[in-house]
Structure 1
Amino acid sequence: MKNTSARGLARSRWVPGNRVSLLENGEEFFPRVFEAVRRAQREVIIETFILYEDKVGTELHACLCSAARRGVRVDVLIDGFGSPNLSEAFIDGMASAGVRLRVFDPGHSILGQRLNLLRRMHRKIVVVDDACAFVGGINFSADQLLDFGDTAKQDYAVELNGPIVQVIRRFAAHAIAADKKAQSVRSLRPGPSEPQPESAGRAGGHARAGEAEVCLVTRDNWRHTNNIERHYRVAIRSARHRVVIANAYFFPGYRLIQDMRNASRRGVDVRLILQGEPDIPIVRVAARMLYHHLLLAGVSIFEYCERPMHAKVALTDDCWSTVGSSNLDPLSLALNLEANVVVHDQAFNRALSERLERMSSHCKRIEAADLGKWSSWRLVRSLVVFHLLRWYPSWIAWLPHHAPRVTPLGH
């Protein structure tokens, strides 16, 4: 049964008639993207947080340059913090082929340290010819492939076909606009006449490709500051049977924590799949500060121990699902530019559920006994952390609020 309350959130923003295919890790994601780019006839748009000059980046480079040479318009936007070390040869090769490569807020290093830490362009979007789009958490780097070894990332993305592609394409085209001065404003503060991802519920002119209703949900630092969190909260509050969240960096705000606790107390099976072997050790320390509060309310917590988990996916009941770039931490929920798709479709929900069940077989279930004794110091520390979470969305807005630049690269 569909989650009617969640569907009621900005009802006109949902786009029906789409096919959504789940892609797990680079083994499924990269071949689909590269093949779509090789078939491109008119346009390719890519936004990615990380583009490395490794075997994945090199193959993407070759595909994009080939497309540009045959007359396809190719626009690529990378993040200045996430993709800092591309060589001149790599960049100039793209420029010579006609690829329009731009960097979001390139920043500068001081004593080898990059200082442009805040308000990153963390989205991962690919659009090809208005025919297909990809949204998720997978970057263009070799560590998204299993043959990378023990530190290969576990991650997900989706391929979309149908009317939603036009909505995603319109959003990406504005975000990667050719006028860099206009872009520095538009990416953060779009004017009322510009199409917005959540106001484009009518994507006429595109044939139905499936049965899924899809909504593109983004966050920025001006007009869409909490849209992704809001969709999560509505889905959790509306859940009747189950909530499953697999998220790499878990340190959400007070309200989202309370929604999970309340759902569990009313009988919903609430499960969290978090990192047990994190790529950044502090991630596990931060998440574990919240475990007691969640376990006491009946929330089940599992830590994925196979390798670093980079997923940002969730599902509720048998119809609602989301896949995207947004973690449930202060950076994603209050600072970074993010993009998720929310999907209403039983078949996709079932496919995601099966993948998460498979991943759960490599997880350790966390019990209260695993966390040590409940000392007075642990109680004080947890209460302080818990209530700091209640206020961080307000005080984090006081952090430096510059307008990041989008700078062309290459000659």
Structure 2
Amino acid sequence: MSQDIIDSLAVGYVLVEWTIRVIMLIVVPLRRSPGAARGWLFVTFFIPIPALIVYLLIGRPTYPRWRRKRFEKARQLLANATDEISHSKFCSHPILPETYAPAAKLVQNLGQFPILGGNRIDLLSDYDRTVDQLVSDINGANHHVHLLSYIFANDRTGSKVIDALIRATERGVECRVLVDALGSRRWARTIRNRLTSEGVQVARALPVTFLRRRSARADLRNHRKIAIIDASIGYIGSQNIIDAEYAPGLFNRELVVHVAGPVVLEMQAVFAADWYLETGQVLDDATYFPHRHGKGSIMAQLLPSGPDFPVTGAGRLVVALIYSARQRIVITTPYFIPDVALVEALETAVLRGVEVNLILSRVSDNILVGLAQRSYYDQMLRAGITIYLYGDGLLHAKHIMVDDLICVVGSTNIDIRSFQLNAEASLIIYDEKLARMLAAEQSKNIASSERLSQEVWNQRAVPVKLAQNIARLVSPLL
């Protein structure tokens, strides 16, 4: 090959790179947050051609047209279920104190589910006991069991649940299992074969394939963890169906809410909508939404969120709750990568005299995410926010408490992925007694944590600071 041809190819390559940079500079900021735009443009500047390829694959947090059309039908199913729940004489619709009313109204407008009274709610933080209680409830099921999990592993914990599902099916109980296709990819085929051979219905959420027209995007996942037994018992929280120590030497610490009462029907509606999205099967029989007397006195409502919804619900709720706080905010999350709105809300809360505490895991199961998270510590500390770093394993629990009144527990992390890319579910609880129970759980976590000081944090090495700052630049893409 002559030198002239080589020179022409080199010039052409440079022109292509700069053309990509200019086009991305025009296109990327449209309908995208400043942080996300900054991350994409940063990557594009250094590696324009790979950045363009990745952008075309995952550049916008939207599902394909066929799924958006199907979700319109799913939203109608959710609306029908909400109407059925709302008109039940057994579902209490409490008159809210002024302290609760704005949050409850926001949650309903974001996710369409109303606040319901008459619930009994317990917090489960012992990993193995949570699994054992779930298995016990499945063993007692009479009509149906619905499980939705981001990770469902074929290990000791998974086998316990699988065996319980098989026994339930043998008794004539309808059992359905929905797992995220990527979150459970290592075990999905084995689990599906074991369960379907025994009569359990299994579906994968958002499968990613290269040869099928209806392949999902790899970055948009169903991250929910929900279980419903006979439409009367529900589980929701951070815990997947996998051994606590799935990574050697790293024990997961979780929090799950065990629910009995009308709000379980809202969890049922979310499962039914997700099941329809993946299978086309409609679960709208009255037996899935029975009218029963309440089991307790706690008020609660469910907030589903994700790219299917027109408004990013989880992030808006968290920001709104922070702005509503008057005394204290405690946030527990394994992944803390806030957007600009959340950072400003936290800083403003401190300026208003609100005590803000972050309980974060010292260790992370993702190196880049861990670096990006730690890049925010300096800003948080300078704002007057207290950071506790949990040291007894990976604190994977996700919960928020505001003014010892409102509690949020579910699958939602405090990061851009949970706010914009993942399908999540959070239970919002309005009860002072339950808040005291959650406060005790938070105190226990703080006791196993070390408070991070500004002086200690300033002593980290320069290369570490550089790595964290680089990770922060791409954090909106994580």
TM-score, normalised to structure 1, is 0.81
What is aligned with 1:197?
none
1:152 is aligned, of 234, 244, 251, to: 251
Contact 1:123 1:339 in 2 (8 A): yes
Structure with the higher fraction of residues in helix conformation: 2
Indicate the SS of the match to 1:339: strand
Against the structure 1 CA distance between its residues 46 and 329, is the aligned structure 2 distance closer, same or farther, given a 3 Å change threshold?
Answer: same
Indicate the SS of the match to 1:143: coil
CA offsets per residue over residues 43-101 of structure 1, 9 Å max, x none?
A: 11000011111111111110001111111110000111111122756433311221001
Return the letter of the residue paired with 1:279: D
Contact 1:144 1:155 in 2 (8 A): no
Distance (Å, rounded) in 2 between the aligned partners of 1:7 and 1:13:
8
Q: Percent identity?
A: 25
* Structure 1 consecutive aligned stretches of length 4 or more whose deviation exceeds 3 Å: 1-5, 87-90, 373-389
Against the structure 1 CA distance between its residues 43 and 80, is the aligned structure 2 distance closer, same or farther, given a 3 Å change threshold?
Answer: same
What is aligned with 1:42?
143
Measure how far apart 1:234 and its partner are. 1.7
Contact 1:95 1:101 in 2 (8 A): yes
What is aligned with 1:328?
414
Distance (Å, rounded) in 2 between the aligned partners of 1:282 and 1:34:
36
State yes or no: 1:220 paired with 2:306. Answer: yes
Against the structure 1 CA distance between its residues 94 and 291, is the aligned structure 2 distance closer, same or farther, given a 3 Å change threshold?
Answer: same
State yes or no: 1:166 paired with 2:252. Answer: no
Return the letter of the residue paired with 2:270: F
CA offsets per residue over residues 244-270 of structure 1, 9 Å max, x none?
A: 000011102111111111111111110
Contact 1:275 1:284 in 2 (8 A): no
Return the letter of the residue paired with 2:230: D
Against the structure 1 CA distance between its residues 94 and 366, is the aligned structure 2 distance closer, same or farther, given a 3 Å change threshold?
Answer: same
Against the structure 1 CA distance between its residues 379 and 274, is the aligned structure 2 distance closer, same or farther, given a 3 Å change threshold?
Answer: closer
CA RMSD of aligned residues (A): 3.3
CA offsets per residue over residues 292-319 of structure 1, 9 Å max, x none?
A: 2211221111111111111111101121
Distance (Å, rounded) in 1 between the aligned partners of 2:379 and 2:397:
23
State yes or no: 1:26 paired with 2:119. Answer: no
- How many residues of Structure 1 are paired with residues of Structure 2 in the alignment? 370
What is aligned with 1:189?
none
1:60 is aligned, of 161, 164, 180, to: 161
Measure how far apart 1:29 and its partner are. 1.3
What is aligned with 1:273?
359
Structure 1 gap ranges (5+): 187-193, 195-202, 400-411
What is aligned with 1:254?
340
Measure how far apart 1:373 and its partner are. 6.3
What is aligned with 2:81?
none
Against the structure 1 CA distance between its residues 17 and 384, is the aligned structure 2 distance closer, same or farther, given a 3 Å change threshold?
Answer: same
State yes or no: 1:6 paired with 2:103. Answer: yes
Measure how far apart 1:212 and its partner are. 1.5
Measure how far apart 1:343 and its partner are. 0.6
Paired residues for 1:15-164 under 5 Å: 15-86=116-187, 90-108=191-209, 117-143=218-244, 150-164=249-263
Contact 1:233 1:259 in 2 (8 A): yes
CA offsets per residue over residues 105-155 of structure 1, 9 Å max, x none?
A: 332599xxxx9630111100000001111011100111269xx87311011
Contact 2:372 2:472 in 1 (8 A): no
Contact 1:3 1:239 in 2 (8 A): no
Indicate the SS of the match to 1:9: helix
Indicate the SS of the match to 2:336: coil
Against the structure 1 CA distance between its residues 255 and 143, is the aligned structure 2 distance closer, same or farther, given a 3 Å change threshold?
Answer: same
TM-score, normalised to structure 2, is 0.70
State yes or no: 1:284 paired with 2:370. Answer: yes
Distance (Å, rounded) in 1 between the aligned partners of 2:290 and 2:168:
27
State yes or no: 1:298 paired with 2:384. Answer: yes
Contact 1:37 1:63 in 2 (8 A): yes
Distance (Å, rounded) in 2 between the aligned partners of 1:364 and 1:179:
44
Indicate the SS of the match to 2:124: strand
Indicate the SS of the match to 2:357: strand
What is aligned with 1:318?
404
Return the letter of the residue paired with 1:44: V
Distance (Å, rounded) in 1 between the aligned partners of 2:314 and 2:251:
27
Measure how far apart 1:158 and its partner are. 0.3
State yes or no: 1:233 paired with 2:319. Answer: yes
Structure showing greater relative contact order (alpha-carbon pairs closer than 8 Å, 6 or more residues apart):
1
Return the letter of the residue paired with 1:260: L
Measure how far apart 1:180 and its partner are. 2.1
Distance (Å, rounded) in 2 between the aligned partners of 1:85 and 1:283:
22
What is aligned with 1:345?
431
Measure how far apart 1:380 and its partner are. 10
CA offsets per residue over residues 261-283 of structure 1, 9 Å max, x none?
A: 11111111100011102222333
Return the letter of the residue paired with 2:102: S
